[in-house]
Amino acid sequence: MERPSRQRQREQESEQNADERVACPECESTNIITDADQGELVCDDCGLVLDERQIDRGPEWRAFNHSERQSKSRVGAPITETMHDRGLTTTIDWKDKDAYGRSLSSEKRSQMHRLRKWQERIRTKDAGERNLQFALSEIDRMASALGVPRSVREVASVIYRRALNEDLIRGRSIEGVATSALYAACRQEGIPRSLDEVAEVSRVPQKEIGRTYRYISQELGLELKPVDPKQFVPRFASALGLSEEVQAKATEIIDVSAEQGLLSGKSPTGFAAAAIYAASLLCNEKKTQREVADVAQVTEVTIRNRYQEQIEAMGFR
């Protein structure tokens, strides 16, 4: 059985030599591995040692599972755009214990309290960083409430930083620009979240979010495609407890309707909701218009209007 260290080194070697491979002069094989224990470069087919006494660039410690690697590793967390200092500053723990887990004396506790206070103060050196710190915390709060993945938070933070550097915040609320950046990030990453849903978790009116979103997307040149109603189908169908058959039928209805140009100028959430309502009737899993409207956050009138258009497009009367 191959040793784990040798297997890891083989994977690293194959990644490093993906573009230019070292060939064995004896058998011309490109299956070359690095034996970290011996410091040798070896042909895995014929066993010829191509190089020896190589420098070991790995850590000086050994670990045999994930928890050991985590405890022995001395590097910090990766750089992130979701923190105003990109996570590069230090923090002082609130446990009031030393490195051995022993409680600190009262004199040391008061000293550490003062150090923590000054540490928090010097993390934001000017008004721009305070602005960024507040905006990124708002983005993180709203992203958590919406349940969007980490990648969306990173993209939203980058968009807000660009808006701040281009001086697009002047004359606008920090919360409004932060919410617009999050909405733009959701659209860029293909995460189906409507403007109504984003406005629900925000502290600014929907009208201001829409106006600010249009402004920053135009000024920053964000290339955002129109929202596809099919992106909302799985989420709405799951909330209604509908089967995959209904989802597939709703997707088909949207495709046929879009081919006939019925999607232009229509709300994607309303269009998806009407398609799900129509599909539930066709698949004998009937849901009322009120149930679908509550999940999609649209009115029953919108569902009825879109439903009639889609049924005519499908050739049903």
Binding site for Zn(2+): what residues are annotated? 24, 27, 43, 46
Contact between 192 and 221 (Cβ < 8 Å): no
DSSP-derived secondary structure letter, 42: E
The helix (H) or strand (E) run that includes residue 300 is helix 300-314
Nearest-5° angle of CA 210, CA 213, CA 215? 110
- Provide the annotated binding site: 24, 27, 43, 46
Range 22-25, long-range pairs (CB < 8 A, 24+ positions): 22/50, 24/48, 24/50, 25/50
The two tokens of residue 258 are 């879009």
Backbone phi, then psi, for 237, in 5-degree steps?
A: -65, -40
> Is the C-alpha dihedral spanning 267, 268, 272, 278 positive or negative?
positive
Please tell me what DSSP assigns to residue 134: H
**Would you put residue 28 in left (φ > 0), alpha (ψ -120 to 50) or beta?**
left
How many residues belong to the chain? 317
Q: Taking a C-beta distance cutoff of 8 angstroms, is the pair 157, 213 a contact? A: no
- At a CB cut-off of 8 Å and minimum separation 6, what does 186 contact? 146, 148, 152, 192, 193, 198
